[in-house]
Chains A and B, each alone.
Chain A
Amino acid sequence: MLARAVTFALVGLEPRRVEVEAHIQGGAPSLTIVGLADRACQEAKQRVRSGILSAELDFPGGRVTVNLAPAELKKEGSGFDLPIALALLAASHQLPRARLAEHASCGELALDGRLRRVGGVLAVAEGARRDDLERIVCPYEACAEAALAGVEPVGVRHLSDAVAYLRGELEPPEFVVGNGKARRRPLDLADVRGQERGRRALELAAAGRHNLLLGGPPGTGKTMLARRLPGILPPLEEEQALEVTRIHSVAGLVDPDHPLIGYAPFRAPHHSASTAAIVGGGPRLRPGEASLAHRGVLLLDELAEFQRPALEALRQPLEDGELVVARAAGSVRFPARFQLVGTMNLCPCGARGDPGAQCSCSAQRLARYRDKLSRALLDRFDLVVTVPRARALELQAGPGEASDPVRARVVGARLRLADCTPKRTAAADELLTRAVERLPLSGRGRAKVAGVARTIAALAASDAVLPEHIAEALAYRAPTELATP
């Protein structure tokens, strides 16, 4: 007897249709899974057997073969448990085969037959929609996520519920999107005392989606400022939110009650992160931190402590907005259009730039520290700001401006930039030309200054880029001392 269930395997973020075929024939009882199944997938045998028995259904006797087709596509993870169990039950006449073939399904089985959530349900549901399957049988907690793709989710808590539904004995239960807290309140800029220049740079970075590098001695508030960037970014548009949710779903990071990520994501990997952790990949081709920060902020705290290959690997997504992870078996694309924020000390001992401390670094040590950042990577930062130590006086001052009014200005500036880009006046052009001659400014450096000046003009609600906007933009270029030892 042969039966089929449909599910989807993920290649990167893209769902590929997988038909789970179960075939039962006479012979000594056995269960074999074929079709390039990985370890987690092979172990489905034990979970499926226990799950079916716990649901008080019959585990088919005889030789059982499960084939995951197409056979050349690698199948990973535990999401195949449910389709395998359903195909086995259909093959042994315990549920209608025709009805099963109209549904997509995915989910991991517990030994007692209950269903557990797996990552990537959104992508599977999108695959189902593309293939005109109208319903997807999935764990109850994943309903809200699956519904985002526009298919009707059949949320089941137990394997016996799924069987009852497919037999037509049970209507799919209503699912409610929980009303718990959607998102932790982002950190507020009001906590930052003083640091006028740093706050200004943060606002410009938010308005123009510029990459920002904050330098300075330890304890001056570089990280504190950087962590407050998400709070002044505008919410994501519908299409972008779905894109971001798809990536986070594959990584298993979606909140079951509020699956749609409507705000700019914020990722801050530790500086010991490997290249694969940051750009994605590894044996299971997962999205890395750079992709998880898509449409949001990637904060690299202590930039110069990161491994150099990990930093250099970021150059491609900074340019193209996506990451191509190539493997012998083929390549996978992950979107990665993020805003990069870096913080670093000015020297390895950290005392440089601090009037109250004595730097003990030798010239060679300093050069080695700064060599960590290639010119090419440093060039990707549109805004480079040194954050000096705040005086005691500033720290006693009242709270600074809160995030809300800043975000309002950022939204206004973005609308203006999207509407029409302000043009440079003749006087502004003249200042820019003078600056290129006077300060050694590369072609890319010139373009960056012009871009930042446009953002400054948009924030000032000015129709044209004036000389003072160019002048301010010039102050944010990378200082030569950071670039050449």
Chain B
Amino acid sequence: MTHLRRRELPPLLRAIHDPPARLYLRGSGEGTLLGQPAVAIVGARACSPYGAQVARMLGRDLAAAGVVVVSGLARGIDGEAHRGALETDGRTVAVLGCGIDRDYPAAHTTLAQLICERSLIVSEYESGVEPAPWRFPARNRIIAGLCAATIVVEARERSGALITADFALDEGREVFAVPGEITSALSAGTNALLRLGATPLTAAADVLESLGIQSPPGRAAHDNPILDLLPATADELVRKTGLAVGEVIAALAELDVAGLAAEGDGIYRRLA
């Protein structure tokens, strides 16, 4: 099992006030991957379909621009961010809160394998260390420490994702928050961050701009008028457009295949 000693750590991580003594690595990626421009995408485990779609979109767009997407392999936002990055064959790093040999949570075993094949999984804990509640906040300081910027997609009022944001702020890194509905408990944490002065995030380009990275040319715009009516349920679109239900559903599915819209719990949303 390879590991990096403290003086071998990437400069950003070494700069935090309590860098890990060792960082264990697993996967095909080189250790130098950790020194490249990276952005953390974190958020709630029990996220809404909106949060899941935003996380996946950000993971995809940032990875497509060459940024390393860092997250914690947890359910919900974390997993979606990793998946988004893998979708475009981009690079993504998962930071574990348990021993380097463990795939936690078990539901993400396949995802962990995919990350290993293309990128890296890292942890400050040696093989065999069990996951425990107090290890996750410590893990979050590494996530924030590896990255020039941290994006919080969805977070409840007292959420682990906010701990990550706190670490990032303490180290003077950029913190972005995705605005959510003010009535949704899942957005209470992110909206509170915005009130405290975090930068609102509306597209991956916002982050790339702050890192000084050129955003890749946008995909061909789709001229489908339905796209402008989203978010909406299929039933609402039938009434708004006056088209037959079959035609509306077919149009939505084509947008889905083209990666421009996705369904979550019956509601279609734009992805770009």
Report which A residues bind B (CB closer than 8 A): 194-197, 199-200, 215-216, 346, 352-353, 358-359, 361-363, 366-367, 386-388, 390-391, 394, 431, 434-435, 438-439, 456, 460, 468-469, 471-475, 479, 481, 484-485
Contacts and interface: CB of A to CB of B under 8 A. Distances in A.
A228 B259 CA distance: 35
B231 to A, nearest CB: 10
Contacts of A484: 107
A431 B257 contact: yes
Nearest to A391: B236
B257 A434 contact: yes
Nearest to B267: A388
A439 B235 contact: no
Nearest to A353: B265
Given A352-B265, A359-B46, A471-B253, A390 B75 contact: no
B182 to A, nearest CB: 13
Contacts of A394: 235
Looking at chain B's contact residues, the main secondary structure is helix
Contacts of B247: 468
A253 B46 CA distance: 47
A194 B256 contact: no
A439 B257 contact: yes
Given A195-B235, A215-B266, A363-B76, 6 more contacts: A196-B245, A359-B48, A362-B46, A438-B257, A471-B257, A475-B256
Given A353-B265, A366-B46, A394-B235, A481 B52 contact: yes
A353 B46 CA distance: 13
B173 interface: no
A474 to B, nearest CB: 4
Given A386-B263, A390-B235, A484-B107, A200 B246 contact: yes
Contacts of B49: 481
A469 B251 CA distance: 10
Interface of B: 45-46, 48-49, 52, 75-76, 107, 184-185, 233-236, 238-239, 245-247, 249-254, 256-257, 259, 263-267
Nearest to B254: A471
A405 to B, nearest CB: 15
Contacts of A390: 235
B252 A475 contact: yes
Q: Which 8 pairs across A and B sit closest by C-beta, in order of nearness? A: A386-B266, A353-B265, A388-B266, A363-B45, A471-B250, A475-B253, A472-B250, A474-B253
Contact of A346 (B46, B246, B257, B265): B265
Contact of A358 (B184, B251, B263): B184
Contact of A435 (B48, B234, B238, B257): B257
B226 to A, nearest CB: 12
A439 B252 CA distance: 14
A196 B46 contact: no
Contacts of B107: 367, 484-485
Contacts of B234: 196-197, 475
A388 B233 contact: yes
B257 A353 contact: no
Nearest to B74: A363
B75 to A, nearest CB: 5
B51 to A, nearest CB: 12
Contact of B246 (A195, A366, A431, A460): A460
A196 B52 contact: no
Contacts of A363: 45-46, 75-76
B125 to A, nearest CB: 22
A197 B184 CA distance: 27
B185 A358 contact: yes
Given A195-B235, A197-B234, A474-B257, A386 B245 contact: no
17 contacts: A197-B235, A200-B245, A200-B249, A358-B185, A359-B48, A362-B45, A366-B46, A367-B75, A386-B263, A388-B235, A468-B247, A471-B249, A471-B253, A473-B253, A474-B257, A481-B265, A485-B107
Nearest to B235: A196
A468 B250 contact: yes
A60 B167 CA distance: 99
A55 to B, nearest CB: 66
A438 B259 contact: yes
A394 B249 CA distance: 19
A290 B265 CA distance: 29
A472 B246 contact: yes
Contacts of A431: 254, 257
Contacts of B264: 479, 481
Nearest to A477: B253
Given A216-B266, A361-B46, A387-B266, A197 B249 contact: yes
Which residue, of A352, A362, A363, has the highest number of chain B Cβ atoms within 10 A?
A363
A431 B258 CA distance: 10
Nearest to A468: B250
A257 to B, nearest CB: 41
